[in-house]
Amino acid sequence: MIEATGLTKRYGSKVAVDHMTFTVAPGKVTGFLGPNGAGKSTTMRMIVGLDRPTSGSVTVNGRRYAEHSAPLHEVGTLLDAKAVHTGRSAYNHLLAQAATHGIGRKRVQEVIEMTGLDAVARKRVGGFSLGMGQRLGIASALLGDPQTLILDEPVNGLDPEGVLWVRNLVQYLARQGRTVFLSSHLMSEMAVTADHIIVVGRGRLIADAPVAEIVARAAGTTVRVRTPQAGALEELVRGPEVTVTSAEPGLIEITGSTAPAIGEAAAAAGIVLHELTPLHGSLEDAYMQLTADSVEYHSSDVGQPAAPATAPSPTTPGATSSATEGAVR
Ligand SMILES: Nc1ncnc2c1ncn2[C@@H]1O[C@H](COP(=O)(O)OP(=O)(O)OP(=O)(O)O)[C@@H](O)[C@H]1O
């Protein structure tokens, strides 16, 4: 369980995380979403004591990270897959970590097998591909068999088989009653992996709800109806709260009503329906709506005329953090 209360981090005048209060509960996969620069990594770093909150607090399994005597058994983290000693083999990297907690070679071998690294475990980490590095980061996170897992972009660089493996793994860990908190920019993947979503923008909490609720809330209620009596049905259902659009003859989309209400009204009026389908939005649609006002780094549309000199260019922020990676700031 992760509990943040009024969690705030300022870097000079920049408020990276702004009074965030949330709970990441056990037994679920909780996705952490937000535009570039929204404060996700900073939040995760504060959870494990790599950044010091300016104010507020965050605990893992009831205590601040630094108060755990054997933190690897409490929290497994993947924050930066590249933060490894490149001259060491994967096996030795894990063995060195294991030694800090009296974890034996057997467990090291187990996590190597779990993460599919057997064939490369004795090779230098410096020669690893991005995906292999991610697998090693996940192996480190699992080493202490922790109750809580925090994974920052775990599927970054993984091939489709690897993405599916991470999905199955995190869902399996959550089903065992563990707390799983992961960030990703891949909405389609998050939609099928997470049970619960926390969305942040410009350091603030925007949404904290089950995935289905977030999608339903944003999608509203639109129902697609195919009928040879479209005009009559439109007359029947139209009202102050109900709008009707038509994409083609005999096909209408009704927003602001429900499929049962439309079906019953049609039946009562003797209107024949050939299709009555509630339309569900995607997590991506919901996310775009939620974060529309929070996107700090806008890209120009492909195919648009050149942007004026004052327009922001597609920018990848965040390069600031690497130099001090690993230090408490
Ligand atoms: N060490 C630092 N010094 C100054 N500003 C920082 C530092 N670390 C992060 N920031 C700023 O804090 C804000 C939040 O950054 P953070 O890396 O937490 O965002 P993020 O949501 O993880 O973004 P991304 O999706 O791009 O990884 C950004 O504006 C970032 O530039």
Q: Spell out the domains of the chain, with CATH numbers in brackets.
A: 2-216 (3.40.50.300), 220-279 (3.30.70)
Q: Which residue has better confidence, 301 or 226?
A: 226
Is 52 touching ligand 1 by the criterion CB < 6 Å? no
Tell how far the Cα of 35 is from the centroid of ligand 1, in angstroms: 11
Task: Using alpha carbons, select from 50, 71, 60, 41 the residue that is nearest to residue 143.
Answer: 71
Residues 6+ apart with CB under 8 A from 293: 201
Is 38 touching ligand 1 by the criterion CB < 6 Å? yes
| H helix or E strand, kind and range, residue 153 | none
Q: How high is the pLDDT of residue 129?
A: 85
Tell how far the Cα of 108 is from the centroid of ligand 1, in angstroms: 33
Q: Which residue's alpha carbon is nearest to atom 4 within ligand 1?
A: 11
Residue 324 reports pLDDT greater than 50: no
Q: Which residue's alpha carbon is nearest to atom 31 within ligand 1?
A: 318
For residue 51, give the ligand 1 atom closest to its CA. 1
For residue 39, give the ligand 1 atom closest to its CA. 18
Tell how far the Cα of 41 is from the centroid of ligand 1, in angstroms: 7
The rounded distance, in Å, linking the Cα atoms of 90 and 87 is: 10
pLDDT digits over 241-251, tens only?
898 998 789 99
Q: Which residue's alpha carbon is nearest to atom 17 within ligand 1?
A: 41
Which of 156, 321, 325 is the pocket-test mutation for ligand 1 (most atoms within 8 Å of CB)? Answer: 321
Is 294 touching ligand 1 by the criterion CB < 6 Å? no
Q: Do 140 and 94 contact (CB within 8 A), yes or no? A: yes
DSSP type of residue 321: G
Q: Which residue's alpha carbon is nearest to atom 5 within ligand 1?
A: 11
Residues 6+ apart with CB under 8 A from 309: none
Positive or negative, the CA dihedral 19, 69, 328, 181 is negative
For residue 203, give the ligand 1 atom closest to its CA. 14
Tell how far the Cα of 314 is from the centroid of ligand 1, in angstroms: 16
Tell how far the Cα of 302 is from the centroid of ligand 1, in angstroms: 26
- From residue 266, alpha-carbon distances to 41, 234, 235, 236, 252 in Å are 52, 10, 11, 8, 13
**Residue 245 pairs with which residues in a beta bridge?**
253
What proportion of the chain, given as a percentage, has pLDDT over 90? 65
Backbone angles phi, psi at 3, to 5 degrees: -130, 115
- ipTM value greater than 0.85: yes
pLDDT digits over 90-110, tens only?
999 999 999 999 999 999 999
DSSP type of residue 124: B
Tell how far the Cα of 199 is from the centroid of ligand 1, in angstroms: 15
The rounded distance, in Å, linking the Cα atoms of 88 and 112 is: 15
Is 297 touching ligand 1 by the criterion CB < 6 Å? no
**Tokens for 172?**
């399996």
Residue 234 reports pLDDT greater than 80: yes
* 3-state percent helix, strand, coil for the chain, nearest multiple of 5: 35, 25, 40
pLDDT digits over 42-94, tens only?
999 999 999 999 999 999 999 999 999 898 999 999 997 677 777 889 999 99
The count of C-alpha atoms lying within 13 angstroms of the C-alpha of 70, restricted to the half-sphere facing its C-beta, is 12
**Residue 181 pairs with which residues in a beta bridge?**
30, 150
Tell how far the Cα of 156 is from the centroid of ligand 1, in angstroms: 18
Q: Which residue's alpha carbon is nearest to atom 26 within ligand 1?
A: 36
Residue count (the chain): 329
The rounded distance, in Å, linking the Cα atoms of 15 and 57 is: 16
Is 321 touching ligand 1 by the criterion CB < 6 Å? yes
Taking the CB of residue 71, how many other CB atoms lie within 10 A of it? 21
